[in-house]
């Protein structure tokens, strides 16, 4: 079956050089590479989904301190020091 594939000129040149070094035609070389790539991709096992573990960080902060407001938390901590 004949298929036309447009390749980047640099990639085509590299493939041509490697095909010559192996002593095969460009068509045979590309076919071999694609066949090997398909076999390798079929052997790859799917990864398990990522699990994000959560841990308790201790007792909650004192009432009246809004952790969503970092600046107000900083001021309230500074006020208690001085």
Domain of 23 in residue numbering reads as 9-43
Answer whether residue 22 is part of any domain. Answer: yes
DSSP state of 82: -
Output the six-digit token pair for 40. 């390798």
pLDDT in tens, 11-63: 999 999 999 999 999 999 999 999 999 988 888 788 889 999 888 877 766 67
Answer whether residue 15 is part of any domain. Answer: yes
**What is the number of H-type helices and E-type strands within the chain?**
3, 0
Q: Which is higher by pLDDT, 43 or 67? A: 43
Q: What is the pTM of this model?
A: 0.50
The pLDDT of residue 80 is above 60: no
- The total number of structural domains that make up the chain: 1
């Amino acid at each position: 079956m004949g298929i036309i594939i447009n390749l980047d000129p640099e990639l085509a040149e590299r493939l041509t050089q490697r095909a010559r070094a192996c002593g095969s035609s460009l068509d045979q070389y590309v076919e071999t590479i694609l066949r090997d790539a398909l076999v390798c991709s079929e052997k790859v096992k799917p990864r398990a989904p990522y699990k994000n573990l959560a841990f308790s960080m201790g007792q909650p902060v004192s009432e009246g301190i809004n952790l969503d407001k970092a600046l107000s938390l900083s001021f309230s901590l500074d006020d208690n020091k001085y």
